[in-house]
Amino acid sequence: MIDRLNHIAIAVPDLEAAAGQYRDVLGARVSEPQDLPQHGVTVIFVELPNTKIELLHPLGDDSPVAGFLERNATGGIHHVCYEVDDIIAARDHLAAKGARVLGDGEPRIGAHGKPVLFLHPKDFCGTLVELEQA
Ligand code: CO
């Protein structure tokens, strides 16, 4: 069911420092910071030949990454995102298998303008999983 790895999201306490590490130490191409207020994050995209890394920093008062950074002060991997062809079919398949979809189970429009869902980390090896309709 899952297809390409779309991105790995890393929550970081200092966005400019993280971008500098990826740009200057690892030699990657990094974007300018982009505020995504509807998602409660500022993001920098690291473009790799086969996928993306998204450096996430909290934006606003109820950011979904603020609590994560309280528990992981140096930052860490926040979620992985896999592409699916049909997000409703994927959701229904997962529900039939007993996997928990977060929220009300209805896809939201994600950071790339495409429908996404998040799956409970306890069902997937302790990792928050995002599904994005490709
Ligand atoms: Co994501």
What pLDDT score does 87 carry?
A: 97
The domain tally of the chain equals 1
Residues within 5 A (CB) of ion ligand 1: 9, 81, 130
130 catalytic, yes or no? yes
* Residue ranges of the chain whose pLDDT lies below 50: none
The pLDDT of residue 110 is: 86
Q: What does 83-126 look like in DSSP terms, one character per residue?
A: EES-HHHHHHHHHHTTPPBSTTS--EE-TTSSEEEEE-GGGTTT
The domain spanning residue 113 has which CATH number? Answer: 3.10.180.10
Q: Distance from the CA of 80 to the center of ligand 1, in angstroms?
A: 7
Structural domain that includes position 125: 5-133
pTM for this prediction: 0.93
User: Which residues, 6+ apart, have CB-to-CB distance to 33 below 8 Å?
Assistant: 15, 19, 42, 43, 44, 57
